[in-house]
Amino acid sequence: VSRLLYLLQQESSSTELRTECAVVLGSLAMGTENNVKSLLDCHIIPALLQGLLSPDLRFIEACLRCLRTIFISPVTPEDLLYTDATVISHLMALLSRSRYTQEYICQIFSHCCKGPDHQTILFNHGAVQNIAHLLVSTSYKVRMQALKCFSVLAFENPQVSMTLVNVVVDGELLPQIFVKMLQRDKPIEMQLTSAKCLTSMCRAGAIRTDDSCIVLKTLPCLVRMCSKERLLEERVEGAETLAYLIETDVELQRIASITDHLIVMLADYFKYPSSVSAITDIKRLDHDLKHAHELRQAAFKLYASLGANDEDIRKKIIETENMMDRIVNGLSESSIKVRLAAVRCLHSLSRSVQQLRTSFQDHAVWKPLMKVLQNAPNEILVVASSTLCNLLLEFSPSKEPILESGAIELLCSLTQSENLALRVNGIWALMNMAFQAEQKIKSDILRGLSTEQLFQLLSDSDVNVLMKTLGLLRNLLSTRPHIDHIMSTHGKQIMQAVTLILEGEHNIEVKEQTLCILANIADGTTAKELIMTNDDILQKIKYYMSHSNAKLQLAAMFCISNLIWNEEEGSQERQDKLRDMGIVDILHKLSQSSDPNLCDK
């Protein structure tokens, strides 16, 4: 290898010899991954890139072909293409030389474009303008590689997608060219790749979700890719792309769910590897095994997208053969990608009240879910804890057994996570757990969280964490005996927290929640006194009664009305104190308000 590289780089070698060296090195690169590694160790890439500066076209093509083979190997770091800024612009300039330079350069770009940074570099070097006209090349290979380039450039990239929509090639807009490439008479890889381009453009907002090129062309094409006739690889890619296309759009979810019996068709994804009879099928078994994980992952993802919003679709999915068993099995698979997809699917279905009461109960889904939550990586934890939030809702029969299996401890530990989504989900699940719960559960939550942690959460920089923590406090402080009990043990700290928030720079929703917590405290029998003996808090209630925002005025009046019920003990003294503070005058003023709710209250 070192001898070949030496000859390749010698200016004194004849061009024919240098070209042959590049060809032989290209053949070696087609061997095993170790072959490619040893070529990389010999610094083959800088040598080949240097070769691209030669005036000789055949030599340039041989260097590009070898570079292409090296870059498509999984062991080659993509960044090697971007170390020298002049390389990309030189490659763009070489695009016009021949159909081979076009094919290889597009292939190099599409394999080396991983993530937004690479997309931006290629975009800024004029990739869109330079590659667009190749979509109408006479060579199929060039058209195909150019199309692949666009599919990776546009993926999750609004800037590229918005540009592509307006590009015109030979008098036709790019989306129209992509739609032509979707037609059934085109090769499958071309159909799939152009569907991916249109999907990315749609998700970026460059094409509307109700545009006919999405509803009548892209979506049906992707559903076709999921059918039994297609190769396993194509079925995986079709299902994953479709899941991404419909993920956030209810109407597309409904259309997909009734296209070609898709929901039933996906059940077939779980039947690999199929039973092998003859020894000749060993090769197929190996292939099936390799793709079985990917198929299950793709099916779970697509089911998750299909069932994201519509109750009827969720019902159809759950009624598909053995669906709940498949999800439960998926939760304990060795492949982390399958586990994540199964949890996503479960999360999507757990949004259904009906299913939480029936199928989820029959299959004791909470058991494997709690198992998944033990030391899983963050991306799984986030989705699994969201699912747990749903399983802990008041009407879910899973609530009891989950509590018995140590959920409080687990959720309290999530609230201390560095990861924001996990903190939100931890506190949210505790909030759901505390809703209409018995006193023992409420006390366990408060014990598990500790006062320090509660204050930590109330001073969290994220407003979602703050709102859910206030929601938890509000749920803990409901029903009189509970309010009195909790305020007798944690009254001082809770009043401090309330003061802290009413004095802080917070939005209307946060202050409203906090005033509602005060109104709950005012509803307690003994807890009332904590407000009545705290002049600072009383002044704050008075201040919010005259606030410019009606929601806050209403919430402050709730506090007052809970303090003054005539039939409760000590009401006279409380009324006198509030009268002396000038509360009655404010009420007179509010009774003339133009807002009917305020007036009424």
How confident is the model over 261-294, as pLDDT tens digits? 999 999 999 988 766 555 566 777 777 777 889 9
**Which residue range forms the structural domain that includes residue 537?**
477-600
pLDDT at 356 exceeding the cut of 80: no
Question: From the centroid of its chain, how far is CA 199?
Answer: 16
Mean pLDDT of 395-411: 81
Mean pLDDT of 417-424: 93
* Contact partners, residue 574, CB within 8 Å, separation at least 6: 528, 532, 563, 564
Percent of the chain exceeding pLDDT 70 equals 98
Establish if 220 belongs to a structural domain: no
pLDDT at 217 exceeding the cut of 70: yes
Give the whole-angstrom CA distance, residue 426 versus residue 378: 13
Q: Do 255 and 216 touch, CB atoms closer than 8 A?
A: no
Establish if 417 belongs to a structural domain: no
Mean pLDDT of 146-158: 96
Mean pLDDT of 459-475: 93
Closest residue by Cα to residue 446 from 472, 420, 416? 472
* Contact partners, residue 188, CB within 8 Å, separation at least 6: 225, 230, 231, 234
Average pLDDT taken over every residue of the chain: 92
> Phi and psi dihedrals of 518, rounded to 5?
-60, -40
Establish if 42 belongs to a structural domain: no
Give the whole-angstrom CA distance, residue 154 versus residue 164: 8
Give the pLDDT of residue 396: 67
Where is pLDDT greater, at 489 or 278?
489
Establish if 98 belongs to a structural domain: no
Give the whole-angstrom CA distance, residue 323 versus residue 346: 10
What token pair was written down for 337?
């990608």
Establish if 483 belongs to a structural domain: yes
- Put simply, whether the predicted model's pTM sits higher than 0.95 gets the answer no
Mean pLDDT of 293-297: 93
- DSSP result, 456-481: HHHT-S-HHHHHHHHHHHHHHT-SHH
Give the pLDDT of residue 277: 53
Give the whole-angstrom CA distance, residue 514 versus residue 271: 53
Considering only 30-34, 50-54, 274-278, which range has the smallest mean pLDDT?
274-278
Give the pLDDT of residue 195: 98
pLDDT at 492 exceeding the cut of 70: yes
Give the pLDDT of residue 286: 75
Task: Give per-residue burial for 367-381: e unless 16+ CB within 10 Å, then b.
Answer: ebbbebbeebeeebb
CATH assignment of the domain containing 573: 1.25.10.10
Give the whole-angstrom CA distance, residue 471 versus residue 492: 19
Considering only 88-102, 212-226, 345-359, which range has the smallest mean pLDDT?
345-359
Give the pLDDT of residue 278: 53
Give the pLDDT of residue 357: 76
Give the whole-angstrom CA distance, residue 546 versus residue 332: 57
Give the pLDDT of residue 279: 54
**Total count of domains within the chain:** 1
Q: Do 222 and 241 touch, CB atoms closer than 8 A?
A: yes
The count of residues in the chain is 601
Max CA pair span of the chain = 109
Give the model's confidence band at 452: pLDDT under 50 very low, under 70 low, under 90 confident, else very high: confident
pLDDT at 523 exceeding the cut of 80: yes
Establish if 564 belongs to a structural domain: yes
Give the pLDDT of residue 48: 95
Establish if 568 belongs to a structural domain: yes
